[in-house]
Amino acid sequence: MARAEVVQDGGIFMRVVREVAEAVDDGLSAGRSARIRRDAVRVSELAASGFEGPAYEVFEDELCRDAWPILRGMLREGQLARIALKWCAERGFPFWIHPDDYALLRSDPGARDEILVDVVMRARASFRRKALVKGGWNPDYKHGQGASCLTTYFVGQCIWEFRRVYTRWAKDRQQWAKQHALYDGSEEAAHAHPKLFGPLLQAGYLSEPEAAVLSTNFEDILNEQPPVTQAVIRMIVEGYADTEIADALRLTHAAVRMRKTRFRGVLYDAARQRRIWLPEQLHTKAGNRHRKQQGAA
């Protein structure tokens, strides 16, 4: 945890910090002291390049890989949500989790992965800034439970980001439910309720007829894609520009465009397979273009 935060010795804060550390200890094989020594060496090496470049990207990927199963387990057991609620109460931030959402996140692996993709993506940026660039992580910290390893710090950062991500996720679920209730699978329904399909239309990602894909199947197909593609498409839906998405996810602009294009192709393929409804002229023309491009190549 950041130095400014860890100074709060005792009380709710230190109890939840201990709970996070114990969850990480249970999820990793190496002992805490060994992890802290290894992390201190790694941070010293990465500091020489300003926590940037290929070596830092490898480190960041390893950190996310180690934290992912721990976060999934904490969310499945309800522990992550409970800690987030405690932290917000300690700091006076209003935060509430609907019981239905709480039950869904505990029971549905797809829902857990959906929300954790956004949590981890946000935490990557804040972790680098707070823990490393600003020196918030201190391997020599002596108070309370003592120092924590970087994985514990990162998991804590993910829990802190959970409040903001959950709030947006819950609003999106309500919007999807409203759209699904009004959408009967016809193109006329999509035209009759243009405001409900605003985010994708305004982002320029879908034309108006294509907005008819917004049924529960759209979410199912998106969940089948790689985590980075999911993050790109969800940020498009939320109204982010390509440049903002590239900066937030540490991608090139070309990579963002490529993932948008590939996902559009996935939707067209799903339409041809009758997994999702799209106006037939759209996915038929897309398929013809694809075949012509292959022939030209």
Q: What is the pLDDT of residue 264?
A: 83
Q: What is the pLDDT of residue 3?
A: 34
Q: Minimum mean pLDDT among 2-11, 102-111, 219-228: which range? A: 2-11
| Inter-residue contact 260 to 233 (CB < 8 Å) | yes
CA angle 42, 44, 49 (to 5 degrees): 100
- Distance between CA atoms of residues 128 and 3, nearest Å: 15
Q: Is the dihedral of CA 26, 28, 33, 35 positive or negative?
A: negative
Name the nearest CA neighbour of 137 among 274, 1, 9. Answer: 1
Q: Is the dihedral of CA 48, 53, 58, 61 positive or negative?
A: positive
If DSSP states are collapsed to H, E and C, what string results for 189-223?
Answer: HHHHCHHHHHHHHHCCCCCCHHHHHCCHHHHHHHH
* pLDDT above 70 coverage of the chain, percent: 72
Confidence tier at 283 by pLDDT (50, 70, 90): low
Q: Where does residue 5 rank: exposed (0-12), middle (13-18), buried (19+ CB within 10 A)? A: middle
Confidence tier at 279 by pLDDT (50, 70, 90): low
First to last CA, the chain: 53
**Per-residue pLDDT averaged across 265-272, rounded?**
80
Among 117-121, 142-146, 265-269, the range of highest mean pLDDT: 117-121
Q: What is the mean pLDDT of the chain?
A: 75
Q: What is the pLDDT of residue 184?
A: 44
Query: Tens digit of pLDDT for each residue in 186-215?
Result: 444 444 444 444 444 444 444 444 444 444
Confidence tier at 15 by pLDDT (50, 70, 90): low
Q: Minimum mean pLDDT among 147-156, 168-177, 260-269: which range? A: 168-177
Residues 6+ apart with CB under 8 A from 219: 176
